[in-house]
Amino acid sequence: MRPSIDSSFRLREGVFLVDAEDRVTFCNSRAASLLGWNKGELQGRTLSTLPHERVDPETLRGWIARARAEQREVTDEVSLSDGSERHHHAVRAFTSGEGITTVILEETTATRALAAGLARFVGPSIAAQLRNDSLASWNATRAAMSVVGIAPADFSYFAERLEPPVLRDFLSGYVERVVEVAKAESADVVKLSLPTILLGFGSDQHADRALNTALRLAALGTSLERESVLAGLGAVKIKLALNSGMVVTGPVGCSDRMEFTMLGSSVDAVSSLLDTALAGQTLMTHALLERLGNREPDGVRFLDLGPQRIWGVERPLGIVQVLPVARGRLAT
């Protein structure tokens, strides 16, 4: 009697089963195609007698031996060639109480390619979620996050006066350096709405990570200002805003255009606060301060500005100005 196969296995998955003697007891068409086997000749054959144009039988036996020895599901990745190009597959193997070992191969080539593209916009944790959960279950989620917004002050003034190639080169350099900081601080989401860039931080200690990022971006702003003057662009100053709250993140769009984005009033508040900030200022909400435990980390001082009416925000926002400290004094 053939062991039953969970109906949740999708057609794109290759599935084959072997008994305790390494004899193939079941193989679907997808697995046979992936492994270069002739499905009609498999029944009852042992792994050592199977052709191995694409996968060495010892590799197959290794997956199965691990599943038997560890008595749990084991996972691996394998790259297979169909003669013209290589395809990536995730491998899962587990052994039942009857001694039957099931091996499942799922092609991940398209998912890996998409994850690689999305790595330009999302952090490692979300990219890992995409790889592990697959596109079918990758939906929008709502979670507590901290958001950092950065933008050049008075940018319209510069945009109207700079030659297009100069403007493009400045923005490209600005984005590249902000994204470098975002990657170093493991930002989960990078949303470009140029000249504004929004960075989202989730999971543990997201408020601390957001503040650390803002301090690094403030230092970057000082460098950008100096470089813009030397390049003859004028003194380009940046401004920053930070907030914490519930944020919806996920892929939004259509088949022709997809964007991974952040949505919600907490994100809108950052944009509005950024419009309020003066050149060179870093403003933070009381919500993020509370996430920090109402403490001042080393290297920073907070100046409480109290509740403020901000355009676009329904209720007054408690605002704090973030003042970096350098060598025992306020940094300028």
315/202 same-domain check: yes
53/172 same-domain check: no
100/150 same-domain check: no
State the pTM of this model: 0.62
82/167 same-domain check: no
| Pair 238, 221: CB distance under 8 Å | yes
**3-class DSSP assignment, residue 10:** coil
Peptide bond into 195 cis (omega under 30): yes
The answer to whether residue 117 is domain-embedded is no
The answer to whether residue 34 is domain-embedded is yes
Long-range contacts of 64-70 (CB under 8 A, 24+ apart): 64/18, 64/22, 64/93, 64/95, 64/101, 64/103, 66/93, 67/93, 67/94, 67/95, 67/101, 68/95, 68/101
94/204 same-domain check: no
Mean pLDDT estimate for the chain: 82
164/90 same-domain check: no
Residue 149: left (phi > 0), alpha (psi -120 to 50), or beta? beta
Give 135 or 273, the one with higher predicted confidence: 273
160/300 same-domain check: yes
- Alpha-carbon distance of 34 to 109, in angstroms, equals 13
Quote the percentage of the chain above a pLDDT of 70: 80
User: Quick one: which of 154, 156, 160 has its CA closest to 235?
Assistant: 154
| Pair 153, 239: CB distance under 8 Å | yes
50/192 same-domain check: no
Question: Structural domain tally of the chain?
Answer: 2
85/163 same-domain check: no
Please write the tens of the pLDDT for every residue from 218-267: 999 988 888 888 877 788 899 999 999 999 998 777 666 667 789 999 99
Q: Which range, 12-16, 127-131, 209-213, is most confident?
A: 209-213
Last residue of a domain, one of 107, 128, 152: 107
Predicted confidence at residue 3, as pLDDT, reads 41
CATH classification at residue 307 = 3.30.70.1230
> What is the residue range of 271's domain?
139-330
Angle value at C-alpha 90, between 86 and 92, nearest 5 degrees: 140
The answer to whether residue 312 is domain-embedded is yes
The answer to whether residue 124 is domain-embedded is no
194/312 same-domain check: yes
The answer to whether residue 113 is domain-embedded is no
Q: Which range, 22-26, 44-48, 179-183, is most confident?
A: 179-183
| Pair 104, 13: CB distance under 8 Å | yes
Last residue of a domain, one of 107, 131, 160: 107
The answer to whether residue 60 is domain-embedded is yes
The answer to whether residue 8 is domain-embedded is no
88/226 same-domain check: no
CATH classification at residue 33 = 3.30.450.20
The answer to whether residue 119 is domain-embedded is no
Last residue of a domain, one of 87, 107, 127: 107
What the block records as the tokens of 188 is: 């989960």
Please write the tens of the pLDDT for every residue from 60-81: 788 888 888 888 888 888 776 6
How far are the Cα atoms of 20, 106, 121, 168, 319 from residue 115, in angstroms, in the given order?
38, 16, 10, 27, 37
307/187 same-domain check: yes
Query: Using CA of residue 79, residue 81, residue 87, residue 90, what is the dihedral sign?
Result: negative
Q: What letter represents residue 168's amino acid? A: R
